Amino acid sequence: MFFIDIKVGEIKTNCYIIADDDTKECAIIDPGGDYEDIVHIFERYNLKPTYILLTHGHYDHLLDANKIRDMYSAKVICHEEAVPFLDSSTLNGSFYFGYDVTIKADKIVKEHDIIKLGKIEIKVLHVPGHAPGSACYYIESENIVFTGDTLFKETIGITNRFSYGSHELLMKNIKEKLITLPSKTIVYPGHGGYTTVESEVNNNYFLK
């Protein structure tokens, strides 16, 4: 599997690009800005943008999704509970930063749905708490999970900044759906450096 990550946007969101080695079909996880840098990756490695996977509906994770879809006809995918955030620039926060972005999802997913990217199978895990519709994308064959703003290296997603945030709900979902993954699973979060399930079980204050 092809894999690369770049920091995008004003607050350096992790944008991940994964691709099937044979078909070159690729998925872009959280294109939160710097569209030209993302496109450069497509061109450099001869990739075929197929899906745009959104971990949740905050602007710093979706800002340039429309641009990529318009150019490559890639399908925007999100969890069903994230749809209201895509539909509203105030909910997704882009309005407050001068962007006023709304996005129409092409495909709605729910818990345990499988997204096929060539031979790669991507499993959807619904992990709300930071925001409704927060989705993590787990690739068992590669032993990796993309966690958006749910689980970070030695911390967890913010829950007290928004009226819809819930620390209790986030903790419940992390404990039931993320740290129950195989211990060697590599965790790629929405911001900051990567970690592993094992490391978080041993070192994350919130999981003690």
pLDDT the model gives residue 180: 98
Q: Whole-model pTM? A: 0.97
Q: Please name the residues in contact with 34: beta carbons below 8 A apart, sequence gap of 6 or more.
A: 6, 8, 9, 15, 64
pLDDT the model gives residue 102: 97
Cα(6)–Cα(13) distance, integer angstroms: 8
Letter for the amino acid at 99? Y
pLDDT the model gives residue 208: 84
Question: What residues form DSSP beta bridges with 14?
Answer: 7
pLDDT tens-place string over residues 137-196 = 999 999 999 999 999 999 999 999 989 999 999 999 999 999 999 999 999 999 999 999
Going by the DSSP 8-state scheme, the letter that residue 136 receives in this structure is: E
pLDDT the model gives residue 107: 97
Cβ(96)–Cβ(114) below 8 Å = no
Cα(54)–Cα(134) distance, integer angstroms: 9
Q: What is the pLDDT along the chain (208 residues), one digit of tens a residue?
A: 999 999 999 999 999 999 999 999 999 999 999 999 999 999 999 999 999 999 999 999 999 999 999 999 999 999 999 999 999 999 999 999 999 999 999 999 999 999 999 999 999 999 999 999 999 999 999 999 999 999 999 999 999 998 999 999 999 999 999 999 999 999 999 999 999 999 999 999 999 8
Cα(154)–Cα(169) distance, integer angstroms: 18
Cβ(85)–Cβ(76) below 8 Å = no
Rounded to the nearest 5 degrees, what angle is found at the Cα of 104, between the Cα atoms of 100 and 109?
Answer: 130
- Tell me the domains of the chain and their CATH numbers: 2-207 (3.60.15.10)
Instruction: State how far the alpha carbon of 78 is from the alpha carbons of 21, 62, 98, 206, in Å.
Output: 24, 10, 23, 27
Strands (E), the chain: 2-8, 13-19, 25-29, 48-53, 75-79, 107-109, 114-117, 120-126, 135-139, 144-148, 151-152, 155-156, 186-189, 195-196
